[in-house]
Every structure is written in C-alpha cells, then in structure tokens.
Amino acid sequence: MKVSLKSKNPQTETTVDEETSPQQAEATPLDKEEAKPVRRNQGKAQRQKKEKEKKPKVLQPVDGPMVGTPIPRNYLVLERYPLTPPFAYAVIAQEPDEKLPSYFIDELELTYAEKVLYNKIINALQLELSAPRDDVDPKKYFASQAKLIADRYQLMQQKNVTVSWAKILYYAERDMVGFGPIDPLMRDPSIEDISADGAKKPLFVFHRKYESLTTNLAFQDPEKLDDLIVRLVHMSGKHVSTAFPIVDATLPGRHRLAATFRKEVSPMGSTMTIRKFREDPITVIDLINFGALNYTIAAYAWLLLENRATAIVVGATASGKTTVLNALLSMVNPSAKIVTIEEVQEINIDHINWAPLVSRLSYGITEETIGEISVFHLVKAAMRMRPDIMVVGEVRGEETYALFQAISTGHGGLATMHAEDAGSAIQRLTSKPMDVAPSYISFLDLIFSSRRVAIPNPGNIGTPKIVRRIISVDEIVDATKWVSTFVWDPQRDKFDEFLDKSVKLRKFAKDRGKTMKDVMKEISNRIEVLQWLRARNIRNHLEINTTFSQYHTDPEAVLSKIRSETAGSVTESNDFSNLGFGPKETSQDEVAKPSMGYKDSTK
C-alpha cells in the first residue's frame, strides 16, 4: 500500500510503502530546509523558558503598618532617646542650613515577608481575638493570644522565610491595643501635645525641650485619619459621626482628645489634638527648678493655702495654669476634703480625701439637653458634699457665680481662667457670662498670673528660650483694689518681693494672735523645708506630700531633722533682726529669705 507524503510545496510529492518507517523515507531537500526553522523555534522557546525561570519573581506590593518617613542622611542629629527599645526611638534632627529641628519616629522596618505575615496575623486576630472577661493586662493578654492564633493558623511555619516574630508582634500590638501610628508619640514623656491638621499634612508635637516640632508622620489617605479618630473616640467611650462631628473626650491614660470628623466642620478633613496627661505630675519643687517661682513664693502660698485661702490661676493658653494649680493643691491641708470639677479630667493630686467630678454631655440627638450634666450642676452638687476646698478646672460661665457663692460661705476655692493679669481677671469675673457681683470679689484672696515668656538663651544667643513664669502674685482687696506681693523682673529673670503691704498675711497674723515677725519666721521655716527637699532632689509628689503632712502634724520634728542634717547651714542665714524696706532680689540658687519690702500696687 502506498502512502503519499506531501510537503507544503505541491510540486514535490513522495510516496513510500506503509511498512516503510519515516526514518527510512527519503526527504526532499525542501523538506529538510523547512524542518530547520521548526527546530530553531523549539530551541528558542526552551531557552526563553529557562531564562524566565531564572528571572526573580516580581513581588506584588503589600501595605504594611504605617510608619514615618526615614531621616534624611544630610540631617544633623541633635538628640536620640528610646521610646520602645529596640523597636522605636525618638530622634531630634535638623537640616544643616536650617535652625528649626524636626521630630522623627525611628521604627524598625518590616521586610516583605514580615509585612505579608503582619497582614495575615491582623486579619486572623480581628476574627479570632475576644475581649478578656477578667481584669488583666491587655498587652500581656494580646501577646499570648496572638502567639496562640499564629500557631493555630500555622502562620509562622512557612519554609524558607526568615521573619522576626518580635517585630511583627510590636506592630500588631501597636495597631490593635495601642494608639496606632501615633503610639510612639504617646509613649514619649517629653511630648505635651499632639496635633493633626488634616490628611497629607505632617503631625505636629509640642516638646518640653524643643517647643513646637514637625514630625515625619503624615496620613496620606484621609480614610486612615478618619479611622484613627473613630478608634480613639471609641477607646474613650464616646461617639463621633457626620451627625456629631465634634468630640471632646478622655483617652485611656487620662489624655485629653479634641477632634473633628471629616469635612463637616473642618474643610481640610478630620483634625485632632491630644493633650497628654502627665502621670508623674509637676510639683512645687519642679516649678522652683524650672524657675517658674522661687522659695519665698512657694512658702508664702503654702502657708496661706494650708489655711484655706482662695485663689485663681490666670494666664493664656499653654501658660501652665493647670500645672501651677496641681502644684498649689499639693500644699493644702492634708486632712482637708477636696472636690475637683472639670469638663475633662486633668488635675492629678495625691490626696486621700479627694473626690474628682467630670461633666457629661447630652445623650439627645436634637437640641434637647437630655441627660446633660454641666459644670454648673456639678458645682451645686459639690456644695452638698461639704468640701473644705472646691476646685473648678476652668471657670468660664455660670459656674463661676456658683463657685463664688460657695467660697462666700466659708469653703476654700481654687480655679483657673483665661486672663492676662489680675486686672483683666477681675474684669472678666464681673462681666457676663460669669456675672459675679463686685461685692463678692473680696472673697477671693489671691491671683497667680502665669505666662509663657521668652528669655535670653545662653546656649544659643540668636534663639530665645521659651519658659513659663509666675509674673505676679496679687492679693485681692475688692473689685477695684489689689496688692502685688511678688513681681517677676524679665530683665534679670528674678522675683521682687513686697510683703510689708500684704493684707492676707496681716489678717492671718491677727486671726492667729501672732505678730508679723512670727509670720515671717514661719515662712522662713517653710523655706528651709523646701530647700531641704530640693537639695536632696525630692520632687516626686508622693514624697513631697508625705513631708508636707509631717510638717503640718509636727513642724518642730521636721525642722529638727532638717537642721541636724544640714548642721545649721540654712538657718544661719535666716536672721530677722533687721527687716529692711525696698525690693529684694532672689534667685533659685541663693538661700531665700522673705523681704518686708514695699510696693504700692493698689488701683
């Protein structure tokens, strides 16, 4: 049987027997020429396949946890300190040509494989993790549960993958239990405020040493900023939405949050400001170390406040009003009952008989104030608690009138308010909406005026140093007359003392059956105690309050202990045999002695 072998060329055709194998069949020269390109194409395809196998696979982009931009290489590092070692550090750096430093969050970066596992673990934790029923440490609970869930899903058993479980756990804990991308900022004790002005803008912080700084952290996606604000608000037990876009809340750790949501009231998008709460509050010894006041002012305030004097701390925003108020509260009578009233809790004192009260917003969704408890309502309720000292975090409205009603009946009272000095404070108090009758102003004893000022910086002559100072302490006689007992001199950065005109000290001496010399001696004794505390670097509020309590109970025992340790080095300089007139300069390093100088500040 014949079989015809046809080529693509119809002119050539070969016939062979069916039994003849193809190898035995003779091919025409044209068939051989046509077979060469086929073999070449097959070889080329095999080579391309091998080359493709040799090329590395293109990795698909994976979104890991949000981190700050890296520090430019040409920046000069001024300071570096740990936040969560070894994962997060704070770096203060500046461009060589610029004098303004910036704040950098330096966190360990995740590799590609670690980012993949991070996303898988986050998804698994969101599905599997449940809230603990017992009162446990949330971070320890999260770490243990995260390891169990990772083992259950076999996320850490992939072969040929080198990952760091510690790094993944750090970011997972930061984003699920902590404060998210801003968690390193919340851990920095040197930061007072954190503010976000919208998406695609860097966050700003207020540093205790470097003042306002821009950071390397910015939310490029507006939705991520919205999600963070919603999460923070929910952590504080409040609600935020487009219907209620403004929120004022207290975060875990007693940090104060003020936020706006989306573009309802802020055209640039969501914004937030966090005022951090200091767990270790600033004490009167810290204020002396900072130069905000001197020994004599502290001893003078200690004596009067211990005997239930009323006072208001005035100043502008960020002038240190609440800080001064905290320090003053540490010097009140240890056995006194204190009731504090605030919109958001900021006062932190170590006092056993202390009842803090916080106002509450309305539950209603309309203009009805359903369930609202204002500061005014709390002031009225606090009067029924028989407080020795009533403290209002900030007075600005009708609660001021209620506070003056309380102090007029014999209660001690402390508060803060926005004003520049004693004159503007009294003007605000007697005007609407506070509307305190001028006849009630005489029940107020003292006004401490705190201010944020600029002084020469010896370390950097071109850049002034920003500090906080008590610029004056005024004793209130009535609505038109007050006496300045201490005045800060900005040229010398020192305090001038004028105590011979002190109305409150003379009243105190008369009520106790003492002379002014006895009162000045008592102030001198308290100066000794303050100097002894500062010399031994005792500034913690717990230790200071213990010393103040001991002095209140048995002052002679405390003074004997101090004088035995100092061997009379302090008491020798406290000689009251010659009390001259005229202002006396006092600095923080010299042994302070109250002066009976005179300054007529009546108006």
- Here the CATH number for the domain that contains residue 336 is 3.40.50.300
What pLDDT was estimated at residue 69? 95
Sign of the alpha-carbon dihedral angle for 470, 474, 476, 480:
negative
Kindly state whether residue 257 falls inside one of the protein's structural domains. Answer: no
Write the pLDDT tens digit of every residue in 505-545: 999 999 999 999 999 999 999 999 999 999 999 998 889 98
The span from the CA of 21 to the CA of 577, in Å, is 137
Kindly state whether residue 254 falls inside one of the protein's structural domains. Answer: no
Residues 153, 199: one domain? yes
Contact 393, 346 (CB under 8 A): yes
What is the DSSP annotation of 104-172?
EEEEPPP-HHHHHHHHHHHHHHHHH----SS---HHHHHHHHHHHHHHHTTTT--TT----HHHHHHHH
Q: Which of 99, 541, 86 is nearest to 349 (CA)?
A: 541
- Confidence band, pLDDT 50/70/90 cuts, at residue 466: confident
The span from the CA of 86 to the CA of 107, in Å, is 9
Residues 127, 22: one domain? no
Residues 214, 353: one domain? no
In this prediction the pTM is 0.78
Residues 496, 416: one domain? yes
Considering 242-256, 454-468, 548-562, the range whose residues carry the highest mean pLDDT is 548-562
Q: Is 82 left (phi over 0), alpha (psi -120 to 50) or beta?
A: beta
Kindly state whether residue 232 falls inside one of the protein's structural domains. Answer: no
The span from the CA of 413 to the CA of 444, in Å, is 8
Residues 452, 310: one domain? yes
Backbone dihedral angles phi then psi of residue 374, each to the nearest 5 degrees: -90, 175
Q: Which tokens go with 44? A: 């080329």
Residue numbers of the domain that contains 11: 2-46
Instruction: State mean pLDDT over 197-208.
Output: 94
Write the pLDDT tens digit of every residue in 336-377: 999 999 988 888 888 889 999 998 877 655 556 677 899 999
Instruction: State mean pLDDT over 389-410.
Output: 92
User: CB neighbours of 124 closer than 8 A, spacing ≥ 6?
Assistant: 149, 150, 153, 155
Kindly state whether residue 54 falls inside one of the protein's structural domains. Answer: no
Q: Which tokens go with 325? A: 């108020």
User: CB neighbours of 296 closer than 8 A, spacing ≥ 6?
Assistant: 486, 495, 497, 523, 527, 586, 592, 593, 594, 595
Average pLDDT of the chain is 84
Q: How many CA atoms lie within 13 A of 92 on its CB side?
A: 19
Kindly state whether residue 263 falls inside one of the protein's structural domains. Answer: no
What pLDDT was estimated at residue 37? 58
- Confidence band, pLDDT 50/70/90 cuts, at residue 600: very low
Give all strands (DSSP E) within 456-574, no chain letters: 465-478, 481-489, 494-497
Kindly state whether residue 255 falls inside one of the protein's structural domains. Answer: no
The span from the CA of 204 to the CA of 102, in Å, is 9
pLDDT value at 160 more than 60 = no
Residues 35, 121: one domain? no
Kindly state whether residue 231 falls inside one of the protein's structural domains. Answer: no
pLDDT value at 203 more than 70 = yes
Residues 40, 138: one domain? no
Instruction: State mean pLDDT over 464-487.
Output: 94
What pLDDT was estimated at residue 45? 67
Instruction: State mean pLDDT over 277-299.
Output: 92
The span from the CA of 342 to the CA of 378, in Å, is 9
Residues 436, 553: one domain? yes
The span from the CA of 506 to the CA of 428, in Å, is 28
Residues 378, 460: one domain? yes
Give all strands (DSSP E) within 208-253, no chain letters: 211-218, 246-251
Strands in 88-94's sheet, in edge-to-edge order, are 76-84, 88-94, 102-107, 211-218, 202-207, 191-196, 271-275, 255-260, 246-251
Residues 305, 454: one domain? yes
Residues 349, 207: one domain? no
Q: Which of 303, 293, 284, 287 is nearest to 525 (CA)?
A: 303
Q: Which of 419, 448, 444 is nearest to 301 (CA)?
A: 448
Write the pLDDT tens digit of every residue in 44-58: 667 666 665 555 556
Contact 195, 268 (CB under 8 A): no
Overall residue count recorded for the chain in this entry:
603
Provide the number of structural domains found in the chain: 3
Residues 211, 346: one domain? no
Kindly state whether residue 59 falls inside one of the protein's structural domains. Answer: no
Instruction: State mean pLDDT over 277-283.
Output: 85
Write the pLDDT tens digit of every residue in 86-144: 999 999 999 988 878 999 999 999 998 889 888 988 888 888 887 777 777 777 888 88
Which residues is 275 bridged to in the sheet?
Answer: 193, 256
In CATH, what number is assigned to the domain containing residue 105? 3.30.450.380
Instruction: Select the more confidently predicted residue: 96 or 299.
Output: 299
Q: Which of 545, 548, 516 is nearest to 529 (CA)?
A: 548
What pLDDT was estimated at residue 253? 87
